[in-house]
Amino acid sequence: MSWDPAQYGLFLDQRTRPAADLLAHIRLDAPAHIADLGCGPGNSTGLLATRWPKAAITGIDSSQAMLEKARKTAPHIDWQCADIAQWRAETPFQLIYSNALLHWLDNHAVLFPRLLSSVAKGGALAVQMPRNFDAPSHRIIASVAQSAPWAAKLDGRLRENPVAAPDYYYHLLSEDCEIIDIWETSYLHVLEGEDAVLNWIKGTALVPLLAALDDDEQNDFICELAARLAAAYPRRQDGRTLFPFRRLFFIAYR
């Protein structure tokens, strides 16, 4: 997948809010070494650096385009390109933090214990993942992707329900943790501009689908989505669009 920092950044303040909410709940005084998994353009990493300015922070992402933008913003941070599906820390971190990444990866039963094993004793694994895959936006994406003429090319690229219920992650990690703080929040994002929900998902959920289509197919696919999304999320008279969005948070302390 090719991530576009500009498209992702259209709603950067609202995308960063869950990152800030996750950070606000972390009960660690002064972690010396922090990893930000799926750091993207560095917006969440910057929050970490502000809270713990003396920490050695490593931002890790699989997108070189995202990392190039991050380096321009904060050249003092250690930015690394890596496949997080295979990543394991050489030396344990006091905090491994991940905002809106791990729902892209499969086999959570293996992934999350492996990530927790890279956290030092007394440290924490802090995670936020979207859990709105039953929302109208995602049902519309699935419906269009599974219809002609796109179904053949998009088969296997949908992530219809990649995040389990909160209790699954509690049971998965609780044996190796002292405390697990776990909760869900439903945000009501107030979006500006025309085709606001479409532009939001073009920066995230649509990335793997559009990557499989040629230019003409992309245009037709987006036009079909735009019509259906506009009906599901009508623009208000004040020009704004309301976009409900549920997210899962947990902080597992070793």
Q: pLDDT averaged over the chain?
A: 94
pLDDT of residue 193: 92
Coil, strand, or helix at residue 8? helix
Residue 170 has pLDDT above 60, yes or no: yes
Give per-residue pLDDT as tens, 86-123. Answer: 999 999 999 999 999 999 999 999 999 999 999 999 99
Residues 6+ apart with CB under 8 A from 32: 54, 55, 56, 94
**Domains of the chain and CATH, by start:** 5-253 (3.40.50.150)
pLDDT of residue 156: 87
Give per-residue pLDDT as tens, 15-50. Answer: 889 999 999 999 999 999 999 999 989 999 999 999
Give per-residue pLDDT as tens, 205-249. Answer: 999 999 999 999 999 999 999 999 999 999 999 999 999 999 999
Contact by Cβ (8 Å): 199, 193 = yes
Q: 24 phi and psi, to 5 degrees? A: -65, -25
Query: Whole-angstrom Cα distance, residue 10 to residue 14?
Result: 9
pLDDT of residue 12: 76
pLDDT of residue 90: 92
